[in-house]
Amino acid sequence: MAVSEKQLYYLTIHEAQKLIQTRALSPVELTRAVLDRIAAVDGKLHAYINLMSDAAMQEARDAEAEIARGNWRGPMHGIPVAVKDQLDVEGAPARVRQFTQGVGDATAVRKLREAGAVLLGKLHMSSMPGPELPLPRNPWNTEHITGGSSTGSGASVAAGLCLGSLGEDTAGSIRNPSAFCGLAGLKATYGRVSRYGLAPLSWSLDHCGPMARVVEDTAHMLNAIAGHDPKDPTSSTVPVADYTSALREDVKGLVIGVPRDYINECASRTESLVLKLVGTAIDEFKSLGARVEEVKIPTLNLATIANAVIYYNEFWAAHKSDAAGVLKTGAAQRRARIYLGLLTNSADYIQAQRVRSRVRAEFAEVFKKVDCLALPCQTGPAPLVKDVGPIDTLFKHVVPEYNGPFNLAGLPTLVIPCGFSENNLPIALQLVGKPFDEVTVLRAGYTYQQHMKWYERRPEIQ
């Protein structure tokens, strides 16, 4: 579909920034269109918990005036975005901070503002305290979940309620909703994006990253938010690449590894359609000039449970001081994490860290032979809301699955749509790269995306 034929709220960041830079589109016009879209459909989706309409319109006017003076800051200037409630935003109290002190703007939020983005507000997350807020719904079919815990982030981008969002991923929470909502979602290498101002779930597993319509948009957002932050002791000093350099249709000579043994390990819990569509996507890479090789990562079958043990222990440690309040008024998922943290001990934690070290070493060996890995992201399309309880979403993290291992190893991971189910729900492919080699996974994802064009489909919610 040509840009001129699209509703403004369905423009990608990549499309909108070109129009804004040439003054064919006003940030005020774009922001107003997105706010009108929120008013029209968010009553069905429940993505926003704190909509900052007046502030957003003022930021859009400021951006428009600045661009008119010839001071265009870059691709994010004048682009309406929103962030998961887990991130601090000045002037927008976070529900997840019910028992903890916020810091103003989180570093990733501050960097988006400095890049000129227009901040629309805070988005729902499935583990927020209290049962009073309705669960966000999937815009492809509102009877289905969005995936969590970046629930509002997934729904909002897919439905045109913002052009991009920031999510957080501890065991798949950027990739789950991106997969279920038909988005491109990027969990960058651990330490690549500052977590200062991000309410902790798990100190050594949390990743902040972009969720958007297309791969180009995640590259633009990552360019804005990546880099060392002295306020975050886990922040890396590895030099930051220009991630838009990955946006070229070329995978010739790229070696893509397929962990076939691990996919087979998960196959009994994975719908056949997912395996078929992901297999077809991998074959497309062959047709585009990549070489595909099967690889073995022997300890990968222990990685999910190791990730879960570390996750729940560190969650308990992070929330020990406010645990009594969480257990009284917190959402069921938050309460369950506290209990699971209490059920595992220091010996379990140490054993999980030993598994982590071994898995990392095995990945390092594999990445001497291949450039990236390709595998499913989810075991099926988005489940029905009525079929999923809060404990179900936690249980998936204690059996071998496709997300947790890459938090455990801290590897950059991109998900992109690779097809749809018979009832029009998105299915996703997952690409995993070497530490700090986001460029390669973005390049592979972009090439596949441009060839298959699944991103051109939009949910029909009105």
Helix, strand, coil share of the chain (percent; to 5): 45, 15, 40
Specify whether 149 is catalytic.
yes
Catalytic residue among 26, 127, 149, 235: 149
User: String of b and e for 47-77 (b: at least 16 CB within 10 Å)?
Assistant: bbbbbbeebbbebbeebbebbeeeebeebbb
**Block residue for tokens 């070493």:** 361
Contact 273, 427 (CB under 8 A): yes
The Cα–Cα gap between 296 and 306 comes to: 19
Contact 415, 177 (CB under 8 A): no
CA distances (Å), origin 239, targets 20, 246, 258, 417, 436: 29, 16, 29, 30, 9
Specify whether 84 is catalytic.
yes
Catalytic residue among 84, 111, 396, 434: 84
The Cα–Cα gap between 425 and 61 comes to: 37
The Cα–Cα gap between 188 and 207 comes to: 7
**Block residue for tokens 């360019």:** 223
Catalytic residue among 153, 165, 173, 202: 173
Contact 436, 193 (CB under 8 A): no
- Is the dihedral angle over the CA atoms 221, 138, 41, 12 positive or is it negative? positive
Count of all residues that appear for the chain in the document: 462
Note if the bond before 235 is cis, omega within 30 degrees. Answer: no
Contact 444, 251 (CB under 8 A): yes
List active site positions. Answer: 84, 149, 173
